Amino acid sequence: MASEGVDPTSDRPVFRQIADLLRAQMLDGSLPEGARLPSERELMETYGAARGTVRQSVAQLKAEGLIQMEHGRGAFVRRRPPVRRVASDRFARRHRDEGKGAFTVETEAEGLSTGVEVLKVGPEHPPPDIAERLSQPPTDRVLVRRRRYLADGEPVEIATSYVPWDLASGTPMTRKNPGPGGIYARLEETGHRLSRFAEEVTARMPVPDESRSLRLSAGVPVFVLVRTAYDSEGRAVEVCDTVMAADRFVLAYDLPAG
């Protein structure tokens, strides 16, 4: 009577069966976005399982990013946050000419308030992979600019820029606020006209550090974008490493068919 739809003798473990049933309810709409799941006590009674078992079920759904748990309140079907579309033309020169950085352009296009926290600005020795992208030995220093961007007060990405020290030293890039148009505008002013960007996209689960800093809920991966900027002479003049909450972004690219 109690075990409604679960078969303890089945090959499939009970906790998976319960998770399957709950997942199905989310898909068919009987558990819509934002709805509270039955409490652990209720699940125990419904399916005739011990508390540890039903907890394993909801932990499974949590790891899949389907639900969010709130201590003392319950487990809720996760709401999809509004997705921010990141277009591949976000570094177009026309935006810089208006005195705006790429992030500000994207965010304001959606009518959101923007914020930037500068976490660190200063010389450092670059990680080996960055040094390689800049075609310089890792013993040469770079200017590191690490910052966290906010949209509507919520942290959405953490970006770290690396600029060869010989290009950065003595310029406004070494200041907290590099001035209108960001460091790309400063690089162009010093004669390095930007010609193209190479962007590499990967995705993985966040380390606890990133999870905290981006206020990620469980089961949400991060995008890692590593973008290298080249000037018109083919020299790599900047590498930017960006970690973004993957549930908040769609990356859009335009590819020629040529």
Residues that bind its own copies (CB under 8 A): 20, 52, 59, 63-65, 83, 88-89, 91-93, 194-208, 218-223, 229, 246-247, 249-258
Q: Does 40 bind DNA (CB under 7 A)?
A: yes
By C-beta, is 55 or 146 nearer to DNA? 55
> In Å, how far are 167, 200, 234 from 255, measured between CA atoms?
31, 15, 21
Q: Does 52 bind DNA (CB under 7 A)?
A: yes
DSSP H/E element including 194:
strand 194-204
Of residues 69, 116, 150, 205, which one binds DNA by CB under 7 A?
Answer: 69
Q: How is residue 174 annotated by DSSP? A: G
DSSP H/E element including 62:
helix 51-63
Contact characters 18-37, DNA, x per CB under 7 A: -------------------x
- Start-to-end Cα distance in the chain: 65
Of residues 75, 86, 163, 167, which one binds DNA by CB under 7 A?
Answer: 75
Query: Out of its own copies, DNA, none, which partner does residue 223 contact, by CB within 5 to 8 A per kind?
Result: its own copies
Q: How is residue 248 annotated by DSSP? A: G
Q: How far is the CB of 77 from DNA (least distance, A)?
A: 12
Crossing angle, helix 51-63 and helix 40-47, to 10 degrees? 110
By C-beta, is 74 or 115 nearer to DNA? 74
Quote the tokens at residue 45.
Answer: 């009674």
By C-beta, is 36 or 85 nearer to its own copies? 85
Query: Out of its own copies, DNA, none, which partner does residue 34 contact, by CB within 5 to 8 A per kind?
Result: none
Q: Does 177 bind DNA (CB under 7 A)?
A: no
Q: Does 92 bind DNA (CB under 7 A)?
A: no
Q: How far is the CB of 42 from DNA (least distance, A)?
A: 6
Query: Out of DNA, its own copies, none, which partner does residue 42 contact, by CB within 5 to 8 A per kind?
Result: DNA
By C-beta, is 121 or 187 nearer to its own copies? 187
**CB pairs under 8 A, 24+ apart, for 95-104?**
96/181, 96/182, 96/184, 96/185, 96/188, 97/181, 98/181, 99/180, 99/181, 99/185, 100/180, 100/181, 101/181, 101/182, 101/184, 102/182, 102/184, 103/149, 103/157, 103/159
